[in-house]
Amino acid sequence: MKNLLLLAVGLFFSLSASSQILKPVKWAYSAKKISKTEAVVAIRATIEDGWHLYSQNMADGGPIKTTFTFAPAKTYKLNGKTAEPKPVVKFEKTFDMNVSYFEKSVTFTQKIKLTGANAVVKGTVEYMVCDDSQCLPPETVDFSIAVK
């Protein structure tokens, strides 16, 4: 009985050690005033080798596209849509379609019109990442970016 208990505990710890939490994307945020009434918010994803993050401009039926949601505030208004650089476009058998994605790093930018002092841009980014053998479940990350 004691041997069975030791085996169970050992198995638990070995499974726990091998099931590491994967976090292949790290996010960083900044803002820069370009005039007294305008600023650009930059949201940068650094992506580990072998992984890719999907574009905002994906057709339905494929992986979850990257989506930014900005909280309304009295100190700023969005000016246009969130911009992104040109993604890699490739046919993926898994989704049976062309997909658009980024590797290594990508910076998304959002222009804002300043309508008050001490603007803080808050919101969320929802995204999904895949490598050649797996996709991780979609994740949502909160952000808060002070405009100085």
Ordered by start, the domain boundaries in the chain are: 23-146
pLDDT in tens, 95-141: 899 999 999 999 999 999 999 999 999 999 999 999 989 999 999 99
Report the pLDDT value the prediction gives residue 12, as an integer from 0 to 100: 37
Residue 34 is predicted with a pLDDT of: 96
Cα–Cα nearest to 146, from 112, 106, 97, 99: 112
| CATH 3.40.50.2300, domain 23-146, yes or no | no
Query: pLDDT at residue 77 above 90?
Result: yes
pTM for the complete prediction? 0.85
DSSP for 10-39 reads HHHHHHHHHSPPP--EEEEEEEEESSSSEE
Question: What distance lies between CA 89 and its chain's CA centroid?
Answer: 18
Tokens of 54: 């999907």
Confidence class for position 20, pLDDT limits 50, 70, 90:
low
